[in-house]
A and B are shown apart, each in its own frame.
Chain A
């Protein structure tokens, strides 16, 4: 059996990151776009924690900061979504074109 190295974790994080990118670019529902952003942030967190095994605890501290940011982003993003839904009765990204010239 091959021992599990840092590189293995990086590959898993890369796969999750690509999945998140595809979700952000192709889905229409804003809620699922926000969930894909959470996937991306989690991939970054996995990278940080995997590197913290080599270079000390700084990666874990940064992962905690990233989780804080994710919480703030989710709260504000979902608030904007509710405000928008009240005005336009839709949650599809390609119908959100109020600012389009």
Chain B
């Protein structure tokens, strides 16, 4: 299906994503940061839908917004300090931060100026209804070994999280 009003939705979603990204790194209260990050992730899910990737968009909402961000909010409530509201928000490394931003921004700008003609025209080789099926086939054929490694990684992460959160370590 041809998407409608692509330009409008692209600028709305990406503007909202960047705006809430700024909120994530500037808010003093970590709960506000977490809520802004949830907004960013939802906007990115919308952008994935516009890029003909419905499966990744669904995984983004279920796993990121539903799983990882709930974990973040739990931990914020476990370690929330009244004291941290009155402390300095930023550390002494703002010079390093500004330098990194300037260097990376210049790099990206030069790529933007020089690389305009490099990208081929996007193609839509198959309808979106087949997307999930094809991703699944690729996961179980081309990417069989990385898939197994990912399951091992998740097992290690589960064990690590349980060991870390034990009473005595």
Q: Mark A residues whose CB is within 8 Å of B.
A: 1-12, 14-23, 25-29, 31-32, 34-36, 38-39, 42, 45-46, 49-50, 52-54, 56-58, 60-61, 63-65, 67-76, 78-83, 85, 90-94
Contact present for A58 and B138 (CB under 8 Å): yes
Q: Could you say which of B44, B120, B135 has the most chain A C-beta atoms within 10 Å of its C-beta?
A: B44
Contact present for B33 and A32 (CB under 8 Å): yes
Q: Mark B residues whose CB is within 8 Å of A.
A: 6-7, 10, 14, 17-18, 21-22, 24-25, 30, 33-34, 37, 40-41, 44, 47-48, 50-53, 55-56, 59-60, 63-64, 67-68, 71-72, 75-76, 78-79, 81, 84, 87-94, 96-97, 100-101, 104-105, 108, 111-112, 115-116, 119-125, 131, 134-135, 138-139, 142-143, 146, 150, 153-154, 156-158, 160-165, 169
- In the assembly, what is the distance between CA of A71 and CA of B48, in Å? 19
Pick from A32, A46, A80, A83: contact of B25, CB below 8 A.
A32
